[in-house]
A and B are shown apart, each in its own frame.
Chain A
């Protein structure tokens, strides 16, 4: 793989007294969507949070776009070009949708063209622009969370389960939005439990188990091989 945008090497992370990541190695190629798969509790979310700096890794190295992230403060990782959509969406409920978006625009006001694109992709944002984000529905909050990460162009997006608990119509909105994002040249590392979504979006896949990455390869290869899925993820994740 030539010049991946993100390289994670031997990363270990403890949360309190628990040893969660036990040496994760993975790479995210430029301009592609990499799916982070695996059963619940194997460390997928912790991996994303460690890359973002929300947990500190006690060993290993995280390299992003030619820089070493290990000592970098959380805020600087964002400014270096990483957008983050956390598992709990991280919406500021008491702020309006507009304020949530304004906050995400680091270099001055939100770019009008980008705003129009986001409105076109996620119409509810326009409808509820002036409403407190806490009054949005779950799906609308997820749209806001992703739109917020996309408020300015970032080179890498870390997205944690964007389709969790969403209605099928909203899921397809999400898939479309992420495709457009990729078309703009962004790289994406995404945790996804919905295998259909993973198959539809993913170029590559990394499968984790017990705090380690145990397999990586083309998403198509994994999708085509139920036996491999069975072996890697315990249960078959055939498309719904």
Chain B
């Protein structure tokens, strides 16, 4: 690394270029939205696509946030993360099926209450499973990426198969709660109600995560631990306990994302989480492993791009994400907002 010399008094030199450099990732989202507008040309279609892109991005972010934090904090890469998405989806959908009165009622509060309960159940179950997962699967392979990848892939298969054992191997179709079906029309654009809800939930989660990370002592410990775990220990904090907390919380968020995604796709399969992992990996790589903000921006970029391209040239939709990843890695090999390790 050939950064600025170590002892340079850099404070005076935060030039415009450097500030722009730091802000650049944030600017990419509006730039992409603008490019989308120019490419699509029809304002109403553009608005519809932008909202669905944001909704998709928010959901991917919810699923990706835990993965990137776990990596940043303990240098652990969990390929089994996708299983928590599936488990959350199945648990949440089961709860929704138990509450037909609430989901079919033409009452937004009842509908939202049903979804909230589904999410709560999903998060509790995924949190509990991930707590066991951390002890049994992850803990014995600290420090070895190779073994981590192999073991967590094995565990992913086992968990997916256990879902099949519990819920059966068939895909399960579901419909959204009554008041969240259909679309509202705004400025000639059809905006699906559920996608608007997804954007709201995503923003709330992001705000909550930021609040915890920026304003609480635990958040401070996590942010410091991502940079220099050893020093946090030397300052008197047992990082392993914090890590288990982050692992469980991150997995519960994956479960939450699973419920949201299930309602978005209106069909669930045991392999859905595994499928999502591809987009999630792209998001955490382009965001910079360990960075929550990076994952947020990365997820929005992926969601928007996927929707714009699917409209313009459907066959290129998936390839577009690979192209995005390639372009960003060419620009910043460590991702958009790499976590500063050390000092």
A131 to B11, CA, bound (A): 9
The interface bits of chain A over 52-78 (1 if a CB of B lies within 8 angstroms of the residue's CB, else 0) are 111000000000000000000111101
* Inter-subunit contact B223/A95 (CB<8 Å): yes
Chain A residues with CB under 8 Å of chain B are: 52-54, 73-76, 78-79, 84, 86, 88-95, 99, 102-104, 106, 128, 131, 133-141, 148, 165
Chain A residues near B236: list those with CB within 8 A: 75-76, 78-79, 106
* Inter-subunit contact A88/B235 (CB<8 Å): no
* Inter-subunit contact A75/B7 (CB<8 Å): no
* Inter-subunit contact B227/A94 (CB<8 Å): yes
Smallest CB gap from A75: residue in B? B238
Distance of B26 from chain A, by nearest CB (Å): 16
Residue pairs across A and B with Cβ atoms less than 8 A apart, 19 shown, are A73-B233, A73-B238, A74-B233, A75-B235, A75-B237, A78-B234, A78-B235, A79-B236, A88-B343, A90-B228, A90-B230, A90-B231, A90-B343, A95-B223, A99-B220, A99-B223, A103-B235, A134-B340, A137-B10
A74 to B343, CA, bound (A): 21
A103 to B216, CA, bound (A): 11
A54 to B239, CA, bound (A): 13
Chain B residues with CB under 8 Å of chain A are: 6-11, 14, 217, 220-221, 223-224, 227-228, 230-239, 339-340, 342-343
* Inter-subunit contact A94/B233 (CB<8 Å): no
* Inter-subunit contact A134/B343 (CB<8 Å): yes
* Inter-subunit contact B224/A91 (CB<8 Å): no
* Inter-subunit contact B234/A103 (CB<8 Å): no
A93 to B227, CA, bound (A): 8
A106 to B342, CA, bound (A): 22
Chain A residues near B220: list those with CB within 8 A: 95, 99, 102-103
A133 to B227, CA, bound (A): 12
Q: Given contacts A75-B236, A94-B223, list 15 more A-B pairs with CB under 8 A.
A: A54-B234, A73-B238, A74-B234, A75-B237, A76-B238, A89-B343, A90-B234, A91-B343, A92-B343, A95-B220, A106-B235, A134-B340, A135-B14, A139-B7, A165-B6
Chain A residues near B340: list those with CB within 8 A: 93-94, 134
Given known pairs A90-B231, A92-B227, the reply for A135 and B11 (CB within 8 Å) is yes
Distance of B2 from chain A, by nearest CB (Å): 16
* Inter-subunit contact A137/B8 (CB<8 Å): yes
Smallest CB gap from B339: residue in A? A94
Distance of A201 from chain B, by nearest CB (Å): 22
A48 to B9, CA, bound (A): 29
Smallest CB gap from A167: residue in B? B7
Chain A residues near B6: list those with CB within 8 A: 138, 165
* Inter-subunit contact B238/A95 (CB<8 Å): no
Q: Which of A73, A93, A131 is B343 in contact with, Cβ under 8 Å?
A: A93
Distance of A75 from chain B, by nearest CB (Å): 4
A151 to B153, CA, bound (A): 44
